[in-house]
């Protein structure tokens, strides 16, 4: 079992060493062993980091990932906590989706804009916006 330096872990995970130290400082990663003061990581840490990355990609905040991982005193199984969060987050993500679609509509309207001055254009854009 080869131990990894922090920069090796960073490289393999595709993040910066400073991010790893930050995760450790907020208890998202457990403190690793040290050799001459330097961190030495078991390759298992890479799975942990992958989890963090997937959770972030799903829209969970670091704070939410923390409670997901660290609430050991809570006897709810992990899958249940994950599902609870996934449920909440799906509501947020659906709202986000609608917002992005709204953004797109405004922009597409903007592409059809033929106004020559600000006053005119303001009315044109607002008309397009409120009529949709």
Partner DNA sequence: ATACGTGTTCAAGTTAACTTTAAGTCAAGC
Partner DNA sequence: GCTTGACTTAAAGTTAACTTGAACACGTAT
**Under the criterion CB under 7 A, does residue 27 sit at the interface with DNA?**
no
- Member of 62, 96, 113, 122 binding DNA (CB under 7 A): 62
Indicate the residue among 22 and 51 with the shorter CB distance to its own copies: 51
Please count the CA atoms within 13 angstroms of the CA of 112 that sit on its side-chain side: 10
**Under the criterion CB under 7 A, does residue 16 sit at the interface with DNA?**
yes
**Under the criterion CB under 7 A, does residue 77 sit at the interface with DNA?**
no
3-class SS of residue 43: coil
Please name the residue ranges forming H helices in 1-132.
6-13, 17-25, 45-57, 62-70, 78-111, 118-131
Binds 96: which of its own copies, DNA, none (CB < 5-8 Å by kind): its own copies
């Amino acid at each position: 079992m080869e131990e990894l330096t922090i920069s090796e872990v960073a490289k393999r995970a595709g993040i910066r060493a400073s991010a790893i130290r930050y995760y450790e400082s907020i208890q998202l990663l457990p403190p690793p062993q040290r050799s001459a003061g330097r961190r030495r990581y078991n390759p298992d840490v890479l799975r942990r980091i992958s989890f963090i990355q997937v959770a972030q990609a799903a829209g969970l905040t670091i704070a939410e990932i923390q409670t997901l991982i660290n609430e050991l005193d809570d006897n709810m199984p992990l899958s249940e906590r994950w599902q609870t969060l996934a449920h909440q987050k799906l509501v947020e993500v659906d709202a986000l989706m609608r917002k992005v679609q709204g953004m797109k509509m405004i922009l597409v309207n903007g592409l059809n804009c033929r106004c020559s001055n600000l006053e005119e254009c303001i009315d044109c854009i607002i008309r397009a916006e409120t009529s949709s």
